[in-house]
Amino acid sequence: MTTFGELAPPVRVLMGPGPSDIHPRVLRALACNTIGHLDPHYLELMNQLQQMLRQVFQTRNQLTFAVSGTGSAGMECAVVNLVEPDDVMLVCVNGVFGSRMADVAARAGARVVTIQRPWGEVFTPEEVEQAVKTHRPKLVGIVMAETSTGASQPLEEVAEVVHRHGGMILVDAVTSLGGMPVLVDQWGLDVVYSGSQKCLSCPPGLAPITFGPRAVEVIQNRKTKVQSWYLDATMLSQYWGDERVYHHTAPINMTYALYEALRLILEEGLENVFARHLLNHHALRAGLEALGLEFTAQEGHRLPMLNAVRVPEGVDDATVRKELLERFGIEIGGGLGQFKGRAWRIGLMGYGARPQNVLLLLGALEQLLAEQGHRFRPGTAVATANEVYQQQQAVSAS
């Protein structure tokens, strides 16, 4: 009879595009006793989870919950509930996840139109307005934090343009939620989805989502059934709402984990969380630039939680990532699509956005890049990053 070894995953420092490092309190929550998905205690937990999600999304939307599935399930849920056959959906594509959204919309029966920007660049309100005037879409999809390029897309003016011309805006906030402001109500975003495994520092498996009043009205007045039974928001709203109508068996322990992850964020305070991500980004950026590494995203539009840099000339992408993992226990991501083999994607997400991770990675990169003949002043990356932290300490003390 075949025997199988005891489960013993290695300890890693997760600094890729996700999943991120998990806080010990979240890991402990996962190990709590499993109860039934209609148990009164679990139903009350769902209520509190929704309240916390509204705070993190910064919204009053009633239809706010966690889809039982990864961030991609959140994307599908957002699209299939708002799209009916032959509806026009405009998708803004400047990386892998814009392309994925367009694919999802086409499979849902939409007539998909795309506008494109070079990878690493973002869209202007004027570009979106021109496309909206031309195609008159029911729905405009856009990625706030493009994980394949590290680009940060401004949303407020884009949303205003879309609404002025009678459309709705759908936003991918998988990487941004919990790491930078996602102002759903202030910006007038109609539907926003995310994932549990990025800046929320929870294992992958749940997709927070929120539907605004315009989106809810569209869902309530559909002419056809939602393409997906599992992701039908009308049925999910009955499960997450006061009726508690059985829909599916929810992932109980994952709900515990997300509950505790959101509690951690709100205990720290959203503004403090955002400042922490930004500070560690500035330190990492200073260190990477001291090594001569260039960012893939345009200046002024770089994500604090996902730092995408070009692999230096003469350096082997796969070798560096392999050595980081095997010798230092650090995981970073390789490039996707156009950036495959040409970029590294370095995550500073949630619990992983802390100085010890930044300094550990920079020290390891210095050693590995030197071994590959890349020229830089030894010790410069760590020293430069430390200067950023020291300057912040001086400001805080004054």
CB atoms within 10 A of CB 319: 12
pLDDT of amino acid 268: 98
Tokens of 264: 């951690």
> Given the structure tokens 């139903």, which residue do they identify?
43
Strands 13-14 and 330-331: what pairing? parallel
The answer on pLDDT for 398 being more than 90 is: no
Structural domains of the chain ordered from first start: 24-266 (3.40.640.10), 270-397 (3.90.1150.10)
Please state the rounded mean pLDDT for residues 316-329: 98
What percent of the chain clears pLDDT 70, i.e. is strictly above it? Answer: 100
169-226 per-position pLDDT tens digit:
999 999 999 999 999 999 999 999 999 999 999 999 999 999 999 999 999 999 999 9
216-253 per-position pLDDT tens digit:
999 999 999 999 999 999 999 999 988 889 999 999 99
40-77 per-position pLDDT tens digit:
999 999 999 999 999 999 999 999 999 999 999 999 99
Alpha carbon distance 283, 383 (integer Å): 10
95-138 per-position pLDDT tens digit:
999 999 999 999 999 999 999 999 999 999 999 999 999 999 99
300-321 per-position pLDDT tens digit:
999 999 999 999 999 999 999 9
pLDDT band at 1 (very low <50, low <70, confident <90, very high): confident
Q: What angle do CA 33, 38, 39 make, to 5 degrees?
A: 50
